[in-house]
Structure 1
Amino acid sequence: MWTKYHKKRKFGRFVLPAITVAFVSYFGYHCIHGDYGLKATEVFEKQRIDRSKELADLVAKRERLEKEVALLSDGSLDKDMLDQYARYQLTYSKDDEIVIFNK
């Protein structure tokens, strides 16, 4: 014999809220501590700032080297620059000169 009366279970009314809490907790944890979470974003931002500074240094160094190469090119050979490089590479100096290297 079938009746419409069902025994109320105490466990049954906690299933949906427990699943919801587990679901929200899982995604909340990974939102903060995950690979793309808030803490990882801070690390990525710090790396971006460090690398942008490094890039600026490298760009400045490249521009300086391009200027030196332009001075040594065939069209505009600068005698002082040529003399400086020859003395540096060959470690040549006159007897009455004092040489100071600051590279």
Structure 2
Amino acid sequence: MIIFLRRGMSTICAPLLFLLLTAYFLWNALHGDLGIKAYQHQKTLQTEAQSALADAHKEQTIWRRRVLALNERALDPDMLDERSRAMLNSSLKDDLVIPYGEKHPLY
């Protein structure tokens, strides 16, 4: 009976060991630090970073255009006067003033 148990254990032990090793490597391939799920998470982070970079480039373009518009030849005196009056809430005697409600601001 003992010989039968030893033969059974020796025939089961090696395949079981290789099966457990295979399961270990498969689990690490899916869930480990360098596994498929970690790769998908990194791809998601990369997509978010590329989106943030595109937004930063758009904002940089807008600011570059604004800075270039501050050139003294690019400033329109009438627009500058109108904007300064709106910001300072002032007007001339001959100006027509149209009041806006709080729900409809001018700027």
Note whether the superposition's TM-score is higher than 0.5.
Answer: yes
Runs of 4+ aligned residues of structure 1 deviating over 6 Å after TM superposition are none
Cα deviation code 1:42-97 (max 9, x no counterpart): 222222222211211110010110111112135x442359827x639x92143626
Taking the aligned partners of 1:58 and 1:27, their CA distance within structure 2 comes to 41
The corresponding residue for 2:33 is 35
CA distance in 2, matches of 1:13, 1:80: 95
Percent sequence identity over aligned pairs:
17
* TM-score in terms of structure 2 length: 0.66
| Structure 1: gaps of 5 or more residues | 1-6
Q: How many residues are treated as equivalent by the alignment?
A: 92
Question: Are residue 91 (structure 1) and residue 82 (structure 2) matched?
Answer: no
Give me the whole-angstrom Cα distance separating, in 1, the residues matched to 2:78 and 2:46: 37
The gaps in structure 2 that reach 5 residues or longer are none
Secondary structure of 2:88 counterpart: coil
Aligned with 1:79 (options 63, 76, 80): 76
Describe the shift of the 1:49–1:36 C-alpha distance in structure 2 as closer, same or farther (beyond 3 A).
same
Higher fraction of helix: 2
Task: Report the RMSD for the aligned CA atoms in angstroms.
Answer: 3.0
Mark the CA change 1:80 to 1:55 in structure 2 (over 3 Å): closer, same or farther.
Answer: farther
